[in-house]
C-alpha cells in the first residue's frame, strides 16, 4: 500500500514538473512569434512616393515645386529676412526701397507710387538747405526746386519765380489735384510767395525756409491757412 501511494506521488510530481516546463516553453514561443511578426511587418511598410519622415520635416526623392524655403529659429531681436527683389540688383532694388520709404512718408500703399523717377529726384534733393535765389545742392529756394522737378520728370520748363509759375499754370480746384500739379501759398509779403509740387494724399514736396527740401501736408494748420490755390502746367503756356 505504501509503495503504491509512493508511486502515485512520484507520478504526480513528474506530471506537475512537466506542465511547468511546457508553460515556459509556450511563453517563449509566443514572444518569439510576436517579435518575428513585428520585424516582418516592418519590412512590409512602405512610404508613399518614397517619402520618409524625420521629426520636423519630410523628404522625398522628387524635387520640390517652387522656391526652397527654409525656416530657422530666430533669437529675440533678430530681423526676419525678406525675399530679395526679383530682377538684377541695383536700380530695381533701389526703386523698391524708395517706394517703401515714401509709402510710409506719404501714408500710401506701395502700389500707388509707380512714378519711381519722381521719388528718385525727391530723394536726391532731400534735406538740401533753403536759401533765397539758390538753385544748387548747396542750397535752393522753392521755385527753383519746382523748376528742377517739373523739368526732370515732365520735361516742362517753368518760369523762375513762384508768382510767375502761378500765372503760367492753369488754375484748378483743390479736389482736382494730381501728382505733378503745383500748389501755391502766401507766406508773407507778395500775393504768391511759395510753391511746391503735389504728390498724393494732400502731401507736397517743397523747399521750406525752416527745414529745406521736405514733404509737408496741405492740412497742416500752417499751410492750410496760407494756401492760395493750385495750378497745372503744360509744355506750352495754357
Catalytic residue ranges = 142, 194, 206
- Nine cell digits for residue 44: 512590409
How many angstroms separate the CA atoms of 29 and 221, rounded? 95
Contact 117, 197 (CB under 8 A): no
Q: In the structure, how many helices (H) and strands (E) does the chain have?
A: 6, 8
DSSP 8-state code for residue 130: B
Question: Number of C-alpha atoms within 13 angstroms, CB side, residue 19?
Answer: 6
Element (H, E) at 234: none
Cell of 45: 511598410
C-alpha cell at 212: 529745406
In whole angstroms, give the CA distance from residue 146 to residue 160. 9
Residues in the chain: 238
Amino acid at each position: 500500500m505504501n509503495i503504491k501511494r509512493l508511486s502515485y506521488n512520484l507520478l504526480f510530481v513528474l506530471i506537475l514538473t512537466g506542465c511547468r516546463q511546457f508553460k515556459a516553453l509556450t511563453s517563449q514561443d509566443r514572444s518569439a512569434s510576436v517579435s518575428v511578426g513585428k520585424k516582418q511587418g516592418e519590412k512590409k511598410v512602405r512610404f508613399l512616393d518614397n517619402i520618409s519622415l524625420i521629426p520636423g520635416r519630410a523628404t522625398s526623392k522628387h524635387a520640390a515645386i517652387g522656391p526652397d524655403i527654409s525656416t530657422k529659429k530666430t533669437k529675440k531681436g533678430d530681423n526676419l529676412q525678406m525675399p530679395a527683389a526679383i530682377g538684377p540688383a541695383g536700380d530695381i532694388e533701389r526703386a523698391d526701397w524708395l517706394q517703401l520709404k515714401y509709402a510710409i512718408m506719404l501714408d500710401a500703399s506701395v502700389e500707388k507710387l509707380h512714378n519711381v523717377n519722381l521719388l528718385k529726384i525727391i530723394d536726391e534733393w532731400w534735406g538740401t538747405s533753403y536759401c533765397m535765389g539758390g538753385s544748387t545742392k548747396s542750397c535752393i529756394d522753392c521755385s527753383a526746386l519746382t523748376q528742377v522737378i517739373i523739368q526732370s520728370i515732365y520735361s516742362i520748363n517753368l518760369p523762375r519765380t513762384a508768382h510767375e509759375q502761378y500765372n503760367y499754370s492753369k488754375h484748378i480746384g483743390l479736389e482736382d489735384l494730381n501728382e505733378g500739379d503745383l500748389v501755391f501759398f502766401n507766406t508773407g509779403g507778395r500775393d504768391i510767395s511759395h510753391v511746391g509740387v503735389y504728390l498724393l494724399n494732400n502731401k507736397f514736396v517743397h523747399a521750406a525756409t525752416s527745414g529745406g527740401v521736405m514733404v509737408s501736408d496741405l492740412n497742416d494748420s500752417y499751410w492750410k491757412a496760407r494756401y492760395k490755390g493750385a495750378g497745372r502746367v503744360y509744355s506750352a503756356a495754357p
